[in-house]
Structure 1
Amino acid sequence: MRGRTTQWGPVLGLLLVAPFIGEFLLGNMTLAELPVGLLLAPMYGCGALLVREVGRRWRGWPTMVLLAAAYALFEEGPVDQLLWNDSYAGHDLLHGPSFIPAIGMSVELTQAVLALHTVWSVCVPIALVEAIAVSSRDRPWLGRTGLIVTAVLFVLGATLVFAGNYSVEHFIAAPGQIAAVVAVMVVLVVAAFVAVPARRERTAGDPPAPLLVGLVSFAVTSAYWGPSTLIVANWYEWVGVAVWFFLVAIGVCLVLRWTQRAGWTEAHTCALAVGATLTYVWVSFPTRPESGGSVVVDLASNVVFGVLACSLVLWATRRAAREPGHGPWVGAASSGARGT
């Protein structure tokens, strides 16, 4: 690490892409709230960057996914207090059919938090920026000083978000609730370093073509977000909980099976992120911003952000497909190509 030169392009890219996908592309915020993105960047961007840097120094994507899940609980738990606040941004997201009084939490809300931050706030931005940064995608982008600065900015950013939320909500969860979520976070972080095998044996053969991988990613993520966004009736909440578990099981099994094959390439990893990103593009239209406001501004913002997201994924897919050793986007990759 000593003497490592910071890769400023990918670093700045991830600092911007993480809050953009995490909040604006989802439809939570509009063009009028772009300045808020600058305030969110230290937490979102530095959080994603820390996850990425630790993962690339340890065991790659399995480590990053577990750390991303810990980040999800950290942001919406101790920082935002969303997991326990029944009037967050003026809405009661807590007391639905899946609310469990004994712990003061909603199963459905906790699942949504894990999905949107683990996948879209952290993993998808990392995958897209890495696809663009072809020459350094599997190497650290920061040296020791850069890591320290990023960690400090992350803590400051999280503190700023906490203070801002508290000034509006005036809500703090019970110590036992916070302690329980922190304990789960610790388990996830430990698992990221201990439970991930040092090396996975590759199997012969190729995964599906990147185009098919992207279509499956789009279908699975849309199957979750579509009904959970469009169906607001109480009867669906427990159904949605079951759907979440079902789709997560399918997604994890497919990704583990495909990534174990020798023909898995960066184009395939990029395709997973592209499919998930395009889901956010269409889901943003039926999603209303947290601040409410004009429908016209909301729709215009969704169009602008959707175009930016499509431009980003097009750039990423072209860069990933051009890397030497990677097969074509539509055809299967050659066996033995470099994996993740």
Structure 2
Amino acid sequence: MNLSRRRPSSTAGGQTAVAERSRGGRPPRGRRAALSLVVITPLVAEFTLGATPIAMAWLILLYIPIYGFGVLTIRELLRRTGGGPGSTLLMGLVYGLIEEGVALQALTSPHIYHVARWAPRPFGINTAYAELNLAYHAVFSVTIPIVLVDLIFPGLAHRPFLRRRGLIGAGVVALLGVLMLRASVPPKEDPGYDVPTVALLVIVALIAVLSVAALWLLPRSGRPARSQTGALVPSPVTVATACGVATLLYLGLLYPFGGAHRPAFTHGGWTLVPMVVGAVVAVAAWSVIRRWSAAAAWSRRHLLAAAIGALVAHTVFGLAANTHTVANGVGLTAAGVVMCALLALLDRRVRDVPGSGLRAPS
């Protein structure tokens, strides 16, 4: 975590900008930042949740192309088009549709992971699974890794990491990652199943519409100045606690503990209740964070605190939901301890960086 402790003068900043343009627009340390995002993304999305147990940590290599390079591609597009927090979340939904709907086919498969038993399936859609995982990808697979890397490399937070050729290369690797996941997981988990043509067309249409909205409509609609100088912002500890509680509520409401994998389990209309409550929790959390981040007092430490609260909560949830053996529990606990130590170090560095108390993006 190499954070600059000194701010360059305006002259030095101008010279740096000229040097960057002379090298084709790639910021210094851009490759290092890009590599950090490629590595951090699957660790946040899979490993620290316990979805990939420590005994199978090698699977992270399988996830790096789709997770790491996929999110890197998304970030590069967002920085080139000026997309903000809303665009990031929309592109997170796009990522979720690609992975869950196209690569894994889990949004419509009647057999994979037993998710068809979680809730009613109108139009053949695994509704509870879709609600749980699309939101999870938007927050934990896309938004939080981008936030963390932007805080680790604050000088590059609002710039692309790569040149145009690097962006194209990252996109190609991400596409190969989609094909690799499609060829490896569905044939094993649900052999012989293919997404119905109509469902696939709908998913592709949603991907296109959300991408246009995120990369073209939202950035060009302009974001009005919303800084509320006198608005109160709670302490970073309170922000972290609120985000942690919201994360635990959302995941806990939608994940069917115990019964989801039993053959005799059958869903009923009552499962719509936690789905509705979960949606309310998600909207409420977004509204509160959006209001807090509009205040002039919102800082990089608040932004990091929001990420820390969500990350710690999702690992605690993973201990309850994804560790079925003592070894897995010990492994995830160890991973959680290391994660907390690294986040604490990042928090200390953020506090030490000059200007870290200034307003930060939401």
Query: 8 Å contact 1:217–1:275 — kept in the other structure?
Result: yes
RMSD: 2.1
The residue aligned with 1:332 is none
Query: 8 Å contact 2:97–2:203 — kept in the other structure?
Result: yes
Separation in 1, partners of 2:344, 2:89? 24
Per the alignment, do residues 64 and 227 of structure 1 end up closer, same or farther by CA in structure 2, a change over 3 Å counting? closer
Amino acid at match of 1:274: I
Q: Tell me by how many angstroms 1:231 deviates.
A: 4.4
Separation in 1, partners of 2:281, 2:360? 28
Per the alignment, do residues 108 and 174 of structure 1 end up closer, same or farther by CA in structure 2, a change over 3 Å counting? same
Structure 2 residue corresponding to 1:221, chosen from 247, 253, 259? 247
Choose 1 or 2 for highest CA Rg.
2
Q: Tell me by how many angstroms 1:209 deviates.
A: 2.3
Structure 1 residue corresponding to 2:217, chosen from 185, 188, 194? 194
Matched, 1:282 2:308: no
Amino acid at match of 1:62: G
The residue aligned with 1:265 is 299
Q: Tell me by how many angstroms 1:313 deviates.
A: 1.7
Report the secondary structure of 2:321's partner residue: coil
Per the alignment, do residues 3 and 256 of structure 1 end up closer, same or farther by CA in structure 2, a change over 3 Å counting? closer
Report the secondary structure of 1:81's partner residue: coil
Report the secondary structure of 2:245's partner residue: helix
Matched, 1:82 2:115: no
The residue aligned with 2:327 is 297
The residue aligned with 2:228 is 203
Query: 8 Å contact 2:83–2:218 — kept in the other structure?
Result: no
The residue aligned with 2:182 is 162
Separation in 2, partners of 1:338, 1:78? 35
The residue aligned with 1:152 is 172
Matched, 1:66 2:90: yes
Per the alignment, do residues 195 and 139 of structure 1 end up closer, same or farther by CA in structure 2, a change over 3 Å counting? closer
Matched, 1:253 2:287: yes
Matched, 1:96 2:118: yes
Structure 1 gap segments, 5+ residues each: 328-335
Matched, 1:312 2:342: yes
Separation in 2, partners of 1:212, 1:34? 33
Q: Tell me by how many angstroms 1:338 deviates.
A: 4.7
Query: 8 Å contact 1:262–1:339 — kept in the other structure?
Result: no
Query: 8 Å contact 1:267–1:321 — kept in the other structure?
Result: yes
Per the alignment, do residues 34 and 231 of structure 1 end up closer, same or farther by CA in structure 2, a change over 3 Å counting? closer
Which structure carries more helix by proportion?
A: 2
Amino acid at match of 1:143: R
Query: 8 Å contact 1:325–1:338 — kept in the other structure?
Result: no
The residue aligned with 1:140 is 160
The residue aligned with 2:264 is none
Matched, 1:56 2:104: no
Matched pairs, number: 324
The residue aligned with 1:174 is 196
Once the two structures are aligned, what percentage of the paired residues are identical?
27
